[in-house]
Amino acid sequence: MPHIFETKQIKEALEKLDIIAAMEEAFKAYSAGQMIVSPQGELPFKKPAGKMNLTFGYMKNSPYFMVKMASDFPGNTKLNKPTGNGMLSLFHKETGEVAAAFVDEGYLTAARTAAAGAVAAKQLAPKVIHKIGIFGTGVQALLQLDYLRRVTECRKVMVFGRTEEKRQAYLDKAAALGFEAEEAEVERDVAEQCNLIVTATSSHMPMLTADMVQPGTHITAVGATTPQKIELAPLVIKNADIVVVDSLIESKKRGEAYHAVQTGLLKQNTLLELGKIIDNPKKGRLTEEQITIADLTGLPAQDMVIAQAVFQTLTA
């Protein structure tokens, strides 16, 4: 019989794992051609607006393959429900039998995305972080901060959100994580005071423009997961010294680099995959004055690695 795991069990298992190290291996494996994936499927809805994405794939050296369903319904915020949900299943690669179903309400995706943000910061952020800037006040924005604790000693954070109520709630949660937290009145405040910035929103309009970004800044952008979403003005991407994506293939379809290429400000061949940076750090940040950007839209390799790690922990 297949195992069925729920969110509480999954969260407990994740506490026992080094997910950041696991994500580093996932990125390296993907860039080394060790991940087999099929094109992502998408089922859109109009009333209410939303979508269901279907991804599937396997690692060449894994005994399992993975199928994930992930929903995104932005209107859920008005219902006090998470905008993202879903589940993931592992199947035995030799027989096609179900090994496990993770009814995780989208938490595995959220956790691997946050861990990927920590990987990007570990590889590309300046050595000394004065203050962390966060755009967004949702689950992912908080998880990004939580995972950053594992790769930086900085405990100062500034957050920019759409509403006062959400900002205050975020500040309270950030304080509970051990951060000295403050809110930003405008986007420029974050850019001027923070040299490690994370954008974790569903914005369809750029929040950071090129004139705001200071030398020595690292930006991790995780929100632009569809062609319509954008968090950074394309000129921000053009002016960066290093632009890293999780997948060169996916960067042709979505993400911050996608918009910069589409507007003619950036050449696709100037982009680097994060897995290549992890494998050879000399391709990453070389000086404290460089501006670096990690444009992360998510990989099935991340889902595969985190699901297998949790599965092994829960069945040990």
Report the alpha-carbon distance of residue 50 to residue 114 in Å, rounded. Answer: 22
String of DSSP letters for the chain = --EEEEHHHHHHHHTTS-HHHHHHHHHHHHHTT-EEE-PPEEEEETTTTEEEEEEEEEETT-SEEEEEEEEE-GGGGGGTS-SEEEEEEEEETTT--EEEEEE-TTHHHHHHHHHHHHHHHHHHS-SS-S-EEEE--SHHHHHHHHHHTTT----EEEEE-SSHHHHHHHHHHHHHTT-EEEE-SSHHHHHHH-SEEEE-S--SS-SB-TTTPPTT-EEEE----STT---B-HHHHHH-SEEEES-TTGGGTSSHHHHHHHTTSS-GGG-EEHHHHHH-GGGS--STT--EEEE----HHHHHHHHHHHHHHHT-
* Residue in 8, 16, 51, 68 annotated catalytic: 68
* Helix 107-124 vs helix 7-14: crossing angle, to nearest 10: 20
Distance of CA 41 to the CA centre of its chain: 20
Q: Judge whether 68 counts as a catalytic residue.
A: yes
Q: Which amino acids are annotated catalytic?
A: 68
